[in-house]
Structure 1
Amino acid sequence: MRAKHLYWDLGSRAGGASFEVELRGSTARVCLMDVDHYQASLDGDEYEFFGGFYDVSPVILEVPYDDHWYLVVDSNDQRIKVQVTEIFD
């Protein structure tokens, strides 16, 4: 992952927490990563994430397990506006 991306430090979250990501202006890759995988992405190492490439919004992502999480949005240098909202039941 290039260093140019938008990210949100979601902090420690329990599995099952959900986030809605509203994308405006571009398609984007939306990734939910724990702290170790986020650091690996910054270091240029192999990493895993939950999410994918989206051209329809909103995107709903659910935290799969308890950990510290980052939400990363990469729009391939296209201009984009992003709004992230935690969903509470």
Structure 2
Amino acid sequence: MEHLYWDLGTYAGGAMFEVELRGSTARVCLMNGDEYQAYLDGDEYEFFGGFYDLSPVVLEVPHDDHWYIVVDSYPQRIKVTVGQVF
């Protein structure tokens, strides 16, 4: 499974991240460590986000945890920038 990901580390609920997409539409997912592992294993998983064709995408961390952002645009080529808003 090809995807781009960022290990954000541990954040409190309310932290916000901005994802800039260039070159393709993509599914952008914010998920905790357990859900990311399920994603990697091909199991069912839950995430915050969705499919986006407009950028930037702003995602808010819903609760304290260790977080990952996953961008899945396969097979399209895409450039992605991720940054914390606040």
Same-fold status (TM-score > 0.5): yes
TM range (shorter): over 0.9
Unaligned 5+ segments in structure 2 are none
For 2:22, the equivalent position in structure 1 comes to 24
- In the alignment, residue 40 of structure 1 is paired with which amino acid? A
Residues 38-63 of structure 1 show CA distances to partners (whole Å, capped at 9, x for unaligned) of: 00010111000000000000000000
Q: Which residue of 2 aligns with 1:52?
A: 50
> Structure 2: how far apart are the matches of 1:86 and 1:77?
27
Which runs of 4 or more aligned residues in structure 1 lie more than 4 Å from their structure 2 counterparts after TM superposition? none
Q: Distance in 1 between matches of 2:23 and 2:42?
A: 27
Residue 69 (str. 1) matches residue 67 (str. 2): yes
RMSD: 0.5
Unaligned runs of 5+ in 1: none
TM-score under structure 2 length normalisation? 0.98
**Alignment identity in percent?**
78
How far did 1:76 drift?
Answer: 2.0
**Matched residues in 2 for 1:80 and 1:45: separation?**
25
Match of 2:2 among 1, 4, 24: 4
Q: What secondary structure does 1:65 align onto?
A: coil
Indicate the residue corresponding to 1:85 in structure 2: 83
